[in-house]
Amino acid sequence: MKFCSNCGSKVSLQVPAGDDRERHVCAECETIHYQNPRIIAGCLPTYEDKVLLCKRAIEPRYGLWTLPAGFMENGESTEQGALRESWEEARAEIHLHGLYTLFSLPHINQVYMLFRGELANLNFAPGIESLEVDLFTEDQVPWDQLAFPVMHKTLRYYFADRPRQAFPIRSETIARSKPPIG
Amino acid sequence: MKFCSNCGSKVSLQVPAGDDRERHVCAECETIHYQNPRIIAGCLPTYEDKVLLCKRAIEPRYGLWTLPAGFMENGESTEQGALRESWEEARAEIHLHGLYTLFSLPHINQVYMLFRGELANLNFAPGIESLEVDLFTEDQVPWDQLAFPVMHKTLRYYFADRPRQAFPIRSETIARSKPPIG
């Protein structure tokens, strides 16, 4: 951030009075521009013993598989965001069951919120951001071609929890991946 | 938003190619300025049969009681945000138990995430944003002087769930409060 979105003047990093961290502050109009983490809302859609995955048609991670998820929009709830993304990416209609995994990624200022849900029908199809959409049993999941660690973890938790049909919420912080040593 | 925070030019509302909703777009540098909901992270701190509440020393709702909570910052996890706010507002040190209530407030683009937690000690004290901090049994809670509906709901859920010591996550959307009819 270089310019004030309110008045167009240059902003500078300052610690505002009563605050304890640097913000982008406009000296002209005195607006303080706070920046906060963004939510990525998504679904783990299930059908019988299978899960629905989307093959990404966009970067990053083009061609890898993911659960439908994306940035939550203003004016919607977290559940609406999860359902909207499932429709946009997989034309999937889902009965939501509740929040299942919650991941903080502080190094990129993101919070993932993934909900479990059951497919309402089998009319799924690739949306514009997907190359393919399909159902996978645990053995069929392309474990080495998943797009993001949060999706890998969510799927692992799901298949571990499913035999007991108990799905406690899983909350984790994922730190920046470290470069290999040596 | 009137000006581009990247180059200082005027922005206009447009639907970018491949998108389906209006964004603030800069014609000069082509930056698309997405706006997304913000997370408010907080705690429901408990001690024996009591809950900790803070009397607000700031607007809005100056003088009313609340659970410690505030905007999640970049670079932290949701749990860290909840613990930081509890320290800032109540000098409370807490052992977190897990996410308890999740509220979407789509009309103001906010998502509340409140965690249950146990006070690690009784050294709490008002932080700069609080006039008083104290512990309350269910009967002592100032039910008609609570600052926000989300706090009221979280406290009601807690005292209803406590006898069974089972605290399922509660997820709700709170719509804009309607003006009274007639």
pLDDT of A142 strictly over 80: yes
* B155 contacts: CB under 8 Å, gap ≥ 6: B44, B51, B67, B141, B146
Residue B31 Cα distances to A5, A10, B71, angstroms = 12, 17, 26
CATH of the domain at B137: 3.90.79.10
Distance from CA of B139 to the nearest CA of A (A): 31
Using the structure block, give the residue that is written with the tokens 């999640």.
Answer: B72
Q: Are residues A162 and A113 in the same domain?
A: yes
Residue B56 within a domain: yes
Mean pLDDT in each 10-residue stretch from start to end of chain B (182 residues)? Answer: 96 93 95 96 98 97 98 98 98 97 98 98 97 98 97 98 96 80 55
How many folded domains does chain A comprise?
2
Same domain (yes/no): A81, A129: yes
Task: Measure in Å the smallest separation between the Cα of B32 and chain A Cα atoms.
Answer: 13
pTM for this entry = 0.95
CB-CB under 8 Å, A1 with B3: no
Residues A1 and A80 in one domain: no
Lowest mean pLDDT of A86-95, A170-179, B76-85, B160-169, name the range: A170-179
Pairwise CB contact (< 8 Å): B104 & A3: no
Report yes or no on A181 lying in a domain.
Answer: no
B127 plus B157 within the same structural domain? yes
Indicate whether B128 belongs to any domain: yes
B150: which chain A residues are within 8 Å (Cβ-Cβ)? none
Q: Are residues A84 and A46 in the same domain?
A: yes
Q: CA A11, CA A27: separation in Å to the nearest integer?
A: 7
Contact yes or no for A106 and B75 at CB 8 A: yes
Q: How close is the nearest chain B Cα to the Cα of A144, in Å? A: 27
- In terms of domains, do A143 and A164 share one? yes
Contact B106 A6 (CB under 8 A): no
Q: With respect to residue A106, please indicate whether it lies within any of the assigned structural domains.
A: yes
B14 plus B78 within the same structural domain: no
What is the domain-level CATH number for residue B11? 2.20.70.10
**Same domain assignment for residues B4 and B48:** no
A147 token code pair: 């797009």
| Angstrom distance (rounded) from CA A134 to CA B42 | 38
Question: Is pLDDT of A155 > 60?
Answer: yes
Mean of the pLDDT values across residues A117-141?
Answer: 98
Residues B96, B60 share a domain: yes
ipTM for the assembly: 0.94
Q: What is the 3-state secondary structure (H, E, C) of chain A?
A: CCECCCCCCEEEEECCCCCCCCEEEECCCCCEECCCCEEEEEEEEEECCEEEEEEECCCCCCCCEECCEEECCCCCCHHHHHHHHHHHHHCCCEEEEEEEEEEEECCCCEEEEEEEEEECCCCCCCCCCEEEEEEECCCCCCHHHECCHHHHHHHHHHHHHHHHCCCCCEEEECCCCCCCCC
Domain that holds residue A19: 1-35
Q: Are residues B169 and B81 in the same domain?
A: yes
